[in-house]
Amino acid sequence: MESGGGGLLGRLGEKVLTWVAAGLLLVLAVAVYRMDAGTRGAILGGIGRTILWVVVAAALPWVTRLFVTRLLEIGSNWAGAILIAVLTLINAGLGLILMGGWPSGGWAWLASLAALAVVGTYNYLVAEYLAERAGG
């Protein structure tokens, strides 16, 4: 059995960071609550669309379990690369639909590209895991 390192100071640091994060979330919630209805609706709508995108992006590569054995029979790395590219393009398309179009501004582009990089990495890791489980 492994024990967590860090001792008393490590646990105290975790507790302090947890309370700081909870306090910041509370301040953010109050700030959003005090905004006018239009701004609050836009922020909450954006959060809802983001959560929907994350859920779909997390579930999508697991669907490949249905045909990963067939891809392994092909025996080519190109099949896996195309699978990951298609999954990432589907996620990009869904993101564009949920955002309502192309990102507007440098920070929006940066956030979108970072999200696609994370999703592409996740797709790769899930595909690798499923290939190992299928005997590949």
CA distances from 91 to 47, 80, 116, 119, 122 (A): 17, 17, 8, 8, 11
pLDDT at res. 104: 85
Enumerate the domain spans of the chain.
1-34, 37-133
Residue 114 or residue 80, greater confidence:
114
Can you tell me the mean pLDDT for 15-43? 90
Residue 126 confidence (pLDDT) above 70: yes
Residue 16 confidence (pLDDT) above 90: yes
The angle formed by the CA atoms of residues 94, 108 and 102, to the nearest 5 degrees, is 45
Tokens of 69: 């054995």
Distance (Å, whole) CA 24 – CA 47: 17
Can you tell me the mean pLDDT for 64-73? 81
Confidence band of 4 (pLDDT split at 50, 70, 90): low
Task: Tell me the pTM.
Answer: 0.67
Nearest in space to 118 (alpha carbons), one of 107, 110, 108, 128: 110
Query: What average pLDDT is seen over the chain?
Result: 86
Confidence band of 24 (pLDDT split at 50, 70, 90): very high
pLDDT at res. 71: 79
98, 89 in Cβ contact below 8 A? no
Can you tell me the mean pLDDT for 88-96? 90
The interaxial angle of helices 106-133 and 77-99, nearest 10 deg, is 140
Residue 41 confidence (pLDDT) above 90: no
- Burial class from Cβ neighbours inside 10 Å (0-12, 13-18, 19+) for residue 127 reads buried
37, 49 in Cβ contact below 8 A? no
